[in-house]
Amino acid sequence: MQAPREVTYSLFPAIEEPRRSGTLEVDEIHTLYWEESGNPDGVPVVYLHGGPGEGAPPGKRQFWDPDYYRIVLFDQRGALRSTPLGELRNNTTQALVDDLEKLREHLNIENWLITGGSWGTTLALAYGETHPQRCLGFILRGVFLGTEDEIDWFIHGMRRFFPRAHEDFVNFIPEEERQDLLQAYLERMTGDDEKLSGEAIRGWVRYSASCSLLRHDPDGVEDQAADEQTSTGLGRLDVWYFKNRLFLEEDQLINNLEAIKHLPCKIIQGGHDMIATPNSAFRLHKAWPDSVLKIINDAGHSPSEPGIVSALIEATEQFKESGKFC
């Protein structure tokens, strides 16, 4: 008897313009861009982008059924359309958790489904553990728990699989400064030399993008590095958060998991993810026994890979049908 054939899910049709959008001033420095699409009376779902400076471009609207979900996208502090772009002042995990709660109140949402990828999983867990009563559940892709081991892997460990990309990443920094690559990159990105700052940002983004796909796409890597608006937020905030250990205590997210363990959670993980390795997803799943872990064997870190796309939409459809995952 043959096993049932697994259903493959595709993105929903493009939503050309959000139903409404706006900005939200969250302190004396930062103003966030936000938007809503889909059903205004539907189940609210918020997407937490990666980076932390990547932003939430329009294509992200396509992961949820617009007839059922009230889809909320926003750019975190310093990312994409939020201002000031790439700003490091007042930019911490705790500030982003507070921003998310301010946005929920601003949109008059009682509680919402939390979805996120990569750094977005870190923020999702930090927010949920702070405001569990505001969460309906979690869909997490490419889990990153913010530990020193994960940061060290990104800076040093990935050379075992991407030696050429890592060599380029390291060789941008003079040999005498390579004992602290994070500090060296941060100083160049935030210095007065705009040309050097741009080169450092592009070098960082190029390294990260080179390691994110199961099948390397050199043209895509260069396109991402050349996108000044996206790469400025991504590069500056990546190195800022890594340098500050993501403003978390070691293993804080695992240690505080009790606050949200009663909520449904679907974990989707690329089996060959070299940026947020499967070990972190497995650790989270073991600490959250009722969570559902789905490993996509032929995928890396990028949410654009077909197996990841299908699994993410499958999760949103499962939640739509039953309010839980299987």
Number of CB atoms found within 10 A of residue 311's CB: 25
Q: Does the active-site annotation cover 273?
A: yes
pLDDT band at residue 124, thresholds of 50, 70 and 90? very high
Q: Which entry of 273, 280, 285, 310 is annotated as an active-site residue? A: 273
pLDDT digits (tens, 9 = 90+) for 35-49: 999 999 999 999 999
**For residue range 227-258, what is the model confidence (pLDDT) as tens digits?**
678 889 999 999 999 999 999 999 999 999 99
Q: How many residues can be counted in the chain?
A: 326
Q: Please pick, among 118, 208, 210, 310, the residue that the annotation labels catalytic.
A: 118
Q: Does pLDDT of 210 surpass 80? A: yes
Cβ neighbours for 223, distance < 8 A, ≥ 6 positions apart: none
Judge whether residue 2 has pLDDT over 80.
no
Asked if residue 221 has pLDDT above 80, the reply is no
Kindly list the structural domains of the chain, giving each domain's residue range(s) and its CATH number in brackets, ordered by start.
Answer: 20-147+249-322 (3.40.50.1820), 149-246 (no CATH)
| Sequence-separated contacts (24+) of 148-153 with Cβ below 8 Å | 148/245, 148/250, 150/276, 150/277, 150/280, 151/242, 151/245, 151/246, 153/277
pLDDT value, residue 222:
57
Q: Please tell me the predicted confidence (pLDDT) of residue 217.
A: 59
CA-wise closest residue to 277 among 159, 164, 143: 143
Among the listed residues 49, 131, 285, 301, the single catalytic one is 301
Which ranges of 180-261 does DSSP label H, i.e. alpha helix? 181-189, 194-210, 218-226, 228-243, 252-255
CB-based contact 159:207 (threshold 8 Å): no
pLDDT of residue 213: 76
Catalytic residue at 118?
yes
**Predicted structure pTM score:** 0.95
